[in-house]
Structure formats: structure tokens, C-alpha cells
Structure 1
């Protein structure tokens, strides 16, 4: 195995981009040890990453998600409930599953959700004091997308707080396998029980729709339903939580950036694209397996090998983005890989972008004087193969502006 010349990026914290920059320059496609003890080929350059994400020879259907061998940690019935969703399958199964669940995430339907998401944001901000330090991640960045996806799915409000703990343990995955099985079992059991309730008493929500969905006689099996809800609950809020928290960290790290947002919130769609590129919510793609030898960036990856694409690295590739390590709020939009590429491009990307726009705009209006409560380098990144997220984001709100008037 090739020797990695720098520290492992999955535990790099603040040094992540420095580590990835060295890899991108010296060893852009490199085999390295994963936290599970497996090895994987890490792809770091934009052009190679884009090709890898759309290469049908790199299978999602035979890759252990997150590098975790489910069947060694949980029972077979739980394993089935984790691996029957669209992110863990190849065509034609992927095509079928995505078609059956795509409707609620269509851009036009998502755009119509803006007033509802704005009301959720305002309620959360009403509870934030203007003169006391708070953890913005805990008070706002996490509960906003949790409430959105849970209300879309039909999860009762009293159950929503449980999800954050489960999801945190699940996404730590290889970095903390001790807590992973219990969190997975708890979440799968909850989803199955909730689906049973929806079968008896369907409502006006996505879970009830998924139970009834058909396409030319096709429908979701029980394992597919459980697995799809599992995916939607995790992906439906974790990426947006990190988009908001990482974005606010970046904006507040240099006060003139936040001043710019406060003065011109209409620029937020472009600013969010730059935040996604610069400090995106997903560090790496989920795992793929080469079904035959594949050449990427001049390196032949053997059949059966695991491949991971570093989205964080690809989005700082100077061959794609001029001056890539500098945040440029008015940077001309160049498509990035924050939400992936190809057939597995994130189905919820339009919803995440909308939630980000609403979240930042509401904060800028209500708390224009917000600032970090500690120096940025005192904040701690969660070690993870997949996600790029903070443990906490302490801020001083700085006095409140005006809420929207009814």
C-alpha cells in the first residue's frame, strides 16, 4: 500500500484542507487505511472526482456504506433495513427507487415550501435571547432542518429530539463503532413502528404517501420503505445542519463577511454556493466498489477495491476554482461537487439550498450584530469519514433585530 505522506484527513480537524491540498498535489489518487481497518482509494482532484462519481464501474450496491460491514454488527433483518435505499443501489434498482420517491423533492414543490420554512425559522429565533451566549448549532442549525424533514415525513414533534442523538452516532460510524449498532437498531425500530401507525392511520405526510406510492403497479417493499425513511431522516437534516453551521462559522470568522450578508441578503443564493464549495457539509462520498479494474488519475484501481471521493478536496482544486483557498462571496458560480454528481446527485439538494437561504436571511435580519463567542480555532470538528460538521458553534447574538410582521 502506498504510504500516505500526511495525516489521515478523516481526523484532520482544522488541518483538513491543508492535508487534502498536500494529497491533491502529491498523491491525488491514493490507497489509505480507513478507521475500520479496511483500505480505500481516496480521489482528491475535481476532474477525477467528477468522473468517479458517474462511473458505472464503481458500484454502490456492493459497497458497505461508510465502510461499515453491517452484517457483522447487526442482525440480518436490520441490515436489510439499512441497505435497500437509492444511495446504496445501482441501476436498475436505483432508477426505480429514485423515481418512486422523487416527487416531493422536485424544485417547484420545494420552492413552494419557502413560507412554511420561514415560519419554522422565525419560531426558533424567537427563543434565542439577544444578550446571552448560545450554541447556534444546537439552538438553530440542527432543529431547523430536523423540524422540516420530520414534518414532511410525518414524525410527531415529541419524537424529533431523539433523532439528533441517533444520527450523530450513526454518522460517526467507523470513528465510533461502539455506539453505532444501538443507534441503528433504535432508529430502525422507531421507523418500523411509525410506519405501522401510518398504515393504520394515514395522514397528509410523506410517510403515508410512500406507503401508498405506485408507479405502473410498482411499489416499495417493507425493507425499501424502512431503508428509504432511514436515508431521508439522516440525509434530510444532517447536510443542511452542517451547511448552516459551517456557513455561519465562515461568515462570522471575518466580521465584514457577515456585514455583507446583512446588507445584501439578496446575494445569498450565490453566497451559499461559495459556502458549499469552501466548507461544504459533506466531506467525502459514500463508498463505492470497483467491479473491474478502473483507471482514475493515472492510477489503476483493482477490481474489488473500495473508492472514496473527497468532495472537500475536489471543491478546493485550483484547476477548477481560481484562488480556491480564499472565500469569495461574489465568486462567479462554477458548479461544485458539494452534493455529489451523476445519478446519485443528492435528491434533497434543492431543499437544502432553500433551507440555507431562509436560515441565513432570517439570522441576518434578526441578529445583524451576531459574532463568534470564541476564536474560530477553538471550535472542534467532528471526526468523520463522511460529514464535515462542528461539535458546537458558540455565538453572541448581539441584540435582536425585527421579526417578520404577520
Structure 2
């Protein structure tokens, strides 16, 4: 039982909560699992059963950008308003029936892309990055591997030239300043910078959409064109490309970095996973559960309802604490331990229901290949220092991941 706290965690951007988000979630889960946060003016829901039920609850809407826009007094040309306008049509912030149509068309593209068939290409990219990381005497695994890999994969899937990879990464970074609720950022121009990046990105994707309408290929963007009657409009295609880039980049970068930190903290566990390829997949699933890339998902309340004796009212927000749910002792025995025999995929790292992450399979494949390759090719891999997580509400992101390894024994490609 979590000890009775002197005060319940209320601010997810407080230094203690950023440094150890799981400890904060544990206190809330044990003592106030439906907690009204004055700091965020939102309900913090932290138990597994409540989080899973919330994904199916029609009183909780994913259409959470437009209400923020409409409640703001800022003029329409305000940078923040313009960014929100660009994001408001994203599939992840819509409800049925619009969401149903967008997801069906995007899902068809993912199936056509045959994500599982991409493993050889992803393995080749990982090996190239590890080669360069070792050759450069690299010390930061985020900059060297975890960060560039997913942007490269998404760029290739969308049919963008390899020369544009760095632009994709920069756009994703600028958007992350806004989309993940960054705190403690004294840069007053962060929204203006993000807007410039987004507008550049939108222009780029419009050109790419026009090209694929004229010259369809075997890429994901061509697959999303659909037919004339029910295909995506140019605006919808641009929004889908932006979403796939951002979600696919940020989430997978965090998943890889967090998994490496977790699995290398115990040398015996690290070596066990390294020596048995069959254990890489369950190890990644445990990493997703314990240190998943997303801590919080936001829902907008559209209908009054009760939860554990609390009245959740229309117009309020609910923060679903995925990290709290994924360590709930009522759902997971020994919840804070890495258990490679644990039942797979019952965690909620990628959400659940109609809004479950459509790119979860791709993120899993990239993370599994990256983690397995790094453990195999960098013997004795270990992290130097404590984690320095970025101060965001939603994302569990490490700005850097300094590592050391037995460089004289770098493994070769398979």
C-alpha cells in the first residue's frame, strides 16, 4: 500500500512529478484515483479499470482541440489559435462519424503498406545508424539512433525523398513544443516557431499530395488517396501526413530510449534479453507498460456522469494517466517489476478502443528491432547518469540518453 502522503500530487509539471511520474501516479491511484487537479483544471484518473472504461465512454470526447479554440479570447490570427486550427482535423482529435471514415482510410493504407514486411528495411536502417553511432564515438543514444530512426521510416513510408529526413525531424520537434504540453519553457516564441514549422510542413505535404495524385506509387500516401467518391481531400491528406509524422516520430523515439534505460539498468536482465532473441518482444512490451512513451491522454467531457462518487461535468477535461493504469496492482501482479512471462498486450501504452494507436504495430517493430540490435551490437551497454525528462504533461521524453559500452567488443551486423 502506498504510504499516506502529506499532500496529493496535483501538478504533473512539478519537478518531482516530472522526475518520477510513476511515483506521483501511484499516490493518486492509491489515495484519490479520481482527483480534481487545481493546477490543470482537470480530473486525473489513474486506475486501470477506470482508464479502460474511459476509452469506451461516449461521455468523454476525443474532439478536444476545437473546444479550446472556441473558449479562447485570442484573435484568429494568434499563433496558438492557428496551430490549433491545423491540428483540429487530425484523426486522433475527432469523434465518429468523422473519425470512423478517417481511420478506415488510414487503416487501409497501413494494411496495404504491409507493415510487417518492412522489418528488413527497418533492420537495415538501424544497422546503418548503429554503424555511424559507433564510428563517431557516439555517446547520446537519442541523437544517434532513437531520434533519427522513426522520422526516416515515416518519410520513406510517405514517399518523401531521403534528403528531406532532417526537415521531417525539425517539423516534428517544433510541433512537440505545443502538442505535448511543454512546461518550464521560457522561450516566448515557441508557438511562433512551431507555427512557422507547421506552415512550412503543410506547404511541403501539399506538394507531395499533388505529386501523388498525378503519379501514384506504392507508398502510404498513395494508398490513402482512395477513390473519387470517398477519398480523402487534400486538406485531410495533409493533416494525416502531419499526424503520422508527428505521432510516429515522437512516440517511437521515446519508446526506444525508455526501453533501453529500463533494460540496461539491470545487467543480468540486459544480458538475458541480449542472449535470447525470443525475449526481446516481451521485454519491449514490459518497457511499454512500465515506461511507455505517453503518460497522459486527454478527453473532453460532453455529458455529466459519475465516477467513484465524483461528478464529472460537461465542459471539463479528464486526464487519463496511462502510467498509473499500467502499474495498477489490481491488474498487474508485482506491477513495478519487469516480468518477461507476463501476459502480453494488456497494458494501455497505445490506448484502447476506436482511438487505439493506428501505428502501434509499426512502433513495436521499430522498437523491437532497435532494442534487440543495440543490446546485441553494443555489449555492456549501460546508461550514464539519471534520466532528465522533458517537462511535458503527456510525453515521457528524454532529451538525451548518454550511454557507455564495451567499445572494443562492438558486435557486427547479422
TM-score exceeds 0.5: yes
CA distance in 1 between counterparts of 2:398 and 2:28 reads 23
Runs of 4+ in 1 over 6 A off after TM superposition: 65-70
1:10 is matched with which residue? 13
CA distance in 1 between counterparts of 2:148 and 2:154 reads 10
Note the 1:387-406 alignment, pairs <5 A: 387-399=395-407, 400-404=409-413
For the structure 1 residues 219 and 258, does the alpha-carbon distance in structure 2 shift closer, same or farther, using more than 3 Å as the test?
A: same
1:220 is matched with which residue? 232
Deviation at 1:251, TM superposition (A): 1.1
1:82-132 C-alpha deviation (Å, 9 max, x unpaired): 111210110000000001111232398111111111111111111122794
Deviation at 1:28, TM superposition (A): 0.6
2:253 is matched with which residue? 241
User: SS state of the match for residue 243, structure 1?
Assistant: helix
Q: Determine which of 256, 270, 289 is the counterpart of 2:282.
A: 270
Q: Determine which of 109, 116, 129 is the counterpart of 2:121.
A: 116
Q: Unaligned stretches of 5+ in structure 1?
A: none
Asked if the contact 1:315–1:338 (Cα under 8 Å) also holds between the matched residues in 2, the reply is: yes
For the structure 1 residues 312 and 76, does the alpha-carbon distance in structure 2 shift closer, same or farther, using more than 3 Å as the test?
A: closer
Aligned length: 394
RMSD: 2.6
1:42-77 C-alpha deviation (Å, 9 max, x unpaired): 110000000112211111124459999695743876
Deviation at 1:205, TM superposition (A): 2.4
Note the 1:321-340 alignment, pairs <5 A: 321-333=332-344, 335-340=346-351
**Residue 353 (str. 1) matches residue 364 (str. 2):** yes
For the structure 1 residues 229 and 90, does the alpha-carbon distance in structure 2 shift closer, same or farther, using more than 3 Å as the test?
A: same
CA distance in 1 between counterparts of 2:263 and 2:277 reads 13
Q: Unaligned stretches of 5+ in structure 2?
A: 1-5
CA distance in 2 between counterparts of 1:250 and 1:241 reads 14
Q: Could you say which structure has the greater relative contact order, defined with CA pairs below 8 angstroms and 6 or more residues apart?
A: 1
User: SS state of the match for residue 114, structure 2?
Assistant: helix
For the structure 1 residues 328 and 179, does the alpha-carbon distance in structure 2 shift closer, same or farther, using more than 3 Å as the test?
A: same
Asked if the contact 2:377–2:410 (Cα under 8 Å) also holds between the matched residues in 1, the reply is: yes
TM-score (normalised: structure 1): 0.89
For the structure 1 residues 72 and 331, does the alpha-carbon distance in structure 2 shift closer, same or farther, using more than 3 Å as the test?
A: farther
CA distance in 1 between counterparts of 2:199 and 2:308 reads 39
1:39 is matched with which residue? 41
Note the 1:180-329 alignment, pairs <5 A: 180-200=191-211, 202=215, 203-210=217-224, 212-214=225-227, 217-285=229-297, 287-329=298-340
Q: Which segment drifts farther, 53-62 or 309-318?
A: 53-62
User: SS state of the match for residue 134, structure 2?
Assistant: coil
CA distance in 2 between counterparts of 1:33 and 1:4 reads 13
